[in-house]
Amino acid sequence: MSSQKQSSSAPSPARSWLSRFILKSVVFVAGLGLCGALLGTLALALAWPNLPDLSAMIDYRPRVPLRIYTSDQVLIGEFGEERRNVLRFDEIPDIMKSAILAAEDDRFYQHGGIDWAGVLRAALANIVNMSKTQGASTITMQVARNFYLSSEKTYTRKFYELLLTFKIEATLTKNEILDLYMNQIFLGHRAYGFAAASRTYFGKQLSEITAAEAAMLAGIPKAPSRFNPISNFKRAKARQAYVLGRMRSLGYLTEDEYQQAVAQPIEIKSAAGTPTGRYAVHGEYPAELARQLLYGVYQDDIYSRGFNIYTTIHSKDQEAAYLALREGVLDYTRRAPYPGPEGSVELPDGIENQPEALDELLDSVQEKYPDNGDLLAGVVLSASPTEVKVARSAAEIIDITDKRALRVIARGLTPKAKPELRLERGSVVYVHKRPEYWELINKPSVQAALVSVRAQDGAVAAMVGGFDFEEGKFNRVTQAWRQPGSSFKPFIYASALERGLTPATQISDEPFSLTAEQTGSKAWNPKNYGRAYEPMLTMRQGLYKSKNMVSIRIMQAVGPQYVQDYVTRFGFDRSRQPAVLPLALGAGSVTPLQMAGAYAVFANGGYRVPPYLIDHVTDSSGKVIMRARPTVAGDTLARAIDPRTVYVMDDLLRGVATYGTGARAHRELKRNDIGGKTGTTNDSQDAWFAGFTPKLVAIAWMGFDQPRSLGSGETGGGAALPIWLDYMRVALAGQPEIPPGPMPSGLSRIDGEFYFNEFPPGTAIARVGLPAPGDLPSGAPAQDGIGNLLDQLGADTSAGNSDTQPTRVPF
C-alpha cells in the first residue's frame, strides 16, 4: 500500500523531462536576453557618439537657390538644384498641416518619435512577404533621414535612424520637427518643401490652397516621382482621395468639407519662375550674366545659400526689349529670301483621318523641332500657291491663305522650286500668329542684340543678347565684338571739335584713295554708301548724311593717334581701336554694351558712367551683403570730355535723328530730345542704331554670328533702327520731352552755328580740302592739306591724350 502511494507520488519521466526543458529554455532565453541587452548596450554605446550633431536642425539653413529679380521685384531667374520657399511654422496653413498628419503620421503629437504599432505592423508585413516591402517611418524619422541619412533599406541604416530619431525628439519640439519636415521634404520636379510645391503644381502661394489641393500635396511624399500631379495625375488623384478620406475619419474635415474637396476640380498650373513654369519677363540674358558675376565672388555657394540678386533691369523695359528684338529679327527673316523648310517627314496617305497616329507622328516631330517662343512647329499637309495647310496636332490644323504670308514663301511654292526650297506634304515648318493672319516663317538664322542704360549712372535697364537664349547662352550685348561702322563716327567728330574744327567747317566729299605704296600694304579705296559724292559738305551735313569721305578727312586732319587716345575716354579698348584711317569708318571692334556706355557720355553732359547690372545682393535673411556704388554724372572725377563738345555733339546727333539717316526716329516717336546715329559696315555685315535721350541710351545691333552680308540694301536704318524704335516707344511712354540745357561757358553761337571761344570764325578751321596730287611725297600717307593749318594753331597732330588709359566697361 505504501509502496503504491510512493510510486504514484513520484514524478513521471515525461514530466521531469518537460520541467528540465522549460527550465533550460528559460535560462537560455534569459541568457540570450542578457546577451542581447549587453550587445544592444554596446551597440548603443558605440553608435550614439557617432550620431551627427543636430546643429543643422537647430540652426536650420536650407539649400535655398539663387534668385534674380528686376529692380521692381519681378523674378527673372532661379539657379540651384533645389527650388525652395522657406516658411515659418505659423505661416503654413492649418489645412496643410492636417493633410500632412493624415497622410504621413496621424499620431505624430502622441508618440515619442517612433510609432511602435506601426513598426510591428510593418515587421509582420515584411516577414510575410520575406522582404523589406513596408516601412513605418514617422515624420521625425523622415526628418532624420532627409537631413543626415540615405534612403537605402538596410537594417544598419534603420538602426541609426531610430537612434537619431530619439535624439531629435529629445532636442526639438514637435512643432519644430514638423516645421523642418514641411520645408525640407522633396516633392518632385525639383520642389523642396510644400511652399515650393504649391507654386510648382498649382501656381499659387501655400496660404491660398484649398483642402483638395492640400491633400494632393500631402500625398506626394510617399513616392514623389509617381504621385506628383504633373508626372501622373491619375495616381496623384487616387492618393488624394485616400488622404481626404483620412482627414475626414480623423476629424480634420467635416462631411460637407470632405464632399466639397472631393468634388473640386484640380487645375495644374505652374507659377512663373518655377522649373515647369515660365517667368513673367524674358530676362534670361541679364539673369545669366548676374549669376556669372556673383559666381565670380562666391563660387558654388551661390546655389544653396539663398542669395537674392536685385538687378537694375526694369521689367517693363526688359519685356519691351525682348519683343522688339524678336519682331525685328522676324521682320528681317520675312525680307530675306525664303531658304526652304526646316526638314521633312514621311506623311502616310490618309493619316489626317487617324487622329492618334497623326498626333504620335507630330509629337516625334516636335521633339526634334521644338517650339521657339511664339514660333510653333508643325507639318505641312498640303501646299499650293494659294494655300498651305499645317498640322500642329490632329485637332489644330492651320490654314495659311493671306497673300502677304504667301508672298514670303512664294519661291517654295512654285512647281519649279528646287528640292531644298520646295514646300510640300511632309515639310516641317514653323508657323507664327500675326495680329491679322497666320504666317509660315523659318526659324531665324540672323541674330540681334539690344541694350539700354540710364544715362546718369549707367544702370542697365534692359538687355537682350540674342533671338533665343535656349539656343545658346552667348550674350551678344557683352561678348560679341563687332565693327561699329558709321555709329562710331560721332566719336571721331567729337575729337575734331576739340582740335579746331566746327560744325560749319567745309570738308571735301570727293573720292579718297591711298595707293599700296602710301599705305605700306595694299591700296585702300573706301566708298560712300550708294557711291554718291559731293564736292564739299559742312561737318554737320557730313554727319547727317553719314558720308565716309568726310569722316576719313576729319580723322586724317585730327590724327589717327590722337583719335585712338581720345576714344578711350568713352570706355573703348585702345587695343581694339587701331590708329589708322579706317577707324574713321568704324573698323575697330566694340560690344553693344561698350557703345551704350560711350553714347551715355553724349547724353549725360560728358561724364563716363560705366554700365552696371547688379544693384544689390541680399542673403537668405534679407540682409544686404553687396551694393553697387555707381559713378554718377556730375562727379568731376568722371568728366570725360569738354562740356562744350558734348553740347555741340548733342545738337548734331539730334539733327541726325531729325533730318539725317536716323530721321525715322523723330518721325515716328515725334520727340525733339532724341539723338542717334545709324551704322552699317562693309557689305552690310553689321547693322546698328545708337540712340539716346538725356535719360536713356539704347543700342540695337543685327548681324550673323559668323559675319556675312545681311543682304543688298540692308542698313542700320532699315534693320536695327526698327528694333530700337519698338523698344523706345514703350520705354519713353509717358516720359516728358527734355529740351537742351543752357549753353556752357566758352561756347558761342554765331550765324546759327557753334564755335569754341578759342576757335572763333576766322581762327577755326574753315575748310578741309583735297591737295594737288603733286603735293604728296612718294610713299607718304595723304595729309589732305590740313597739317599746315593745325601747325599754325599750335596743334600737335600726332599727340594723344596720354593721361587717359584704356578702360574696360565693367559691371
- Helical (H) or strand (E) element with 458: none
d(C-alpha 571, C-alpha 694), whole Å: 19
CB 93 within 8 A of CB 317: no
Distances (CA, A) of 774 to 514, 555, 731: 14, 22, 55
For residue 7, give the amino acid letter: S
Phi, psi of 603, deg, nearest 5: -80, -30
β-pair partners for 675: 692
Who's near 706: CB < 8 A, 6+ residues apart? none
d(C-alpha 681, C-alpha 453), whole Å: 24
Pick from 553, 505, 506, 501: nearest CA to 526: 553
Alpha helices by DSSP H, 690-742: 721-731
Distances (CA, A) of 480 to 282, 469, 486, 552, 725: 20, 15, 18, 26, 22
Quickly state the pLDDT bin for 397 (edges 50, 70, 90).
very high
d(C-alpha 694, C-alpha 604), whole Å: 6
For residue 371, give the amino acid letter: D
* pLDDT above 50 (res 809): no
Residues 567-611 have pLDDT tens digits of 999 999 999 999 999 999 999 999 999 999 999 999 999 999 999
Alpha helices by DSSP H, 299-354: 315-335
Quickly state the pLDDT bin for 224 (edges 50, 70, 90).
confident
* pLDDT above 70 (res 51): no
* pLDDT above 50 (res 796): no
Measured on CA atoms in the order 318, 320, 326, 331, is the torsion positive or negative? negative
Quickly state the pLDDT bin for 223 (edges 50, 70, 90).
confident
Q: Verify whether residue 439 is a known catalytic residue.
A: no
* Residue reference for cell 587716345: 565
Who's near 721: CB < 8 A, 6+ residues apart? 662, 664, 665, 678, 689, 700
Q: What is the pLDDT of residue 775?
A: 39
* Residue reference for cell 526652304: 340
The per-type count for the chain, helices as H runs and strands as E runs, is 27, 23
Listed ranges 36-50, 86-100, 114-128; the one with the highest mean pLDDT: 86-100
d(C-alpha 119, C-alpha 136), whole Å: 5
d(C-alpha 289, C-alpha 295), whole Å: 10
Q: Verify whether residue 486 is a known catalytic residue.
A: yes
Render 48-104 in DSSP notation, one character per residue.
GGGSPPTHHHHTT---BPEEEE-TTS-EEEEESS-EE----GGGS-HHHHHHHHHHH
Average pLDDT over residues 676-695: 96
Burial (CB count within 10 angstroms: exposed 0-12, middle 13-18, buried 19+), residue 195: buried
Lowest mean pLDDT among 219-223, 272-276, 299-303, 386-390: 272-276
CB 607 within 8 A of CB 601: yes
Q: DSSP secondary-structure letter at 237?
A: H
Q: What region does 193 belong to: left with phi over 0, alpha with psi -120 to 50, or beta?
A: left
Pick from 696, 762, 682: nearest CA to 724: 696
* Long-range contacts of the stretch 335-338 (C-beta < 8 A, 24+): 335/711, 336/446, 336/711, 337/411, 338/408, 338/409, 338/410, 338/411, 338/412, 338/421, 338/442
71, 98, 104, 315: the catalytic one is 104
Q: DSSP secondary-structure letter at 477?
A: T
98, 315, 344, 486: the catalytic one is 486
Residues 605-628 have pLDDT tens digits of 999 999 999 999 999 889 999 999
CB 656 within 8 A of CB 662: yes
Helix (H, G, I), strand (E, B) or coil at 7: helix
Q: DSSP secondary-structure letter at 732?
A: T
Lowest mean pLDDT among 38-42, 245-249, 279-283, 354-358: 38-42
d(C-alpha 105, C-alpha 108), whole Å: 5
d(C-alpha 599, C-alpha 676), whole Å: 9
- Helical (H) or strand (E) element with 160: helix 155-171
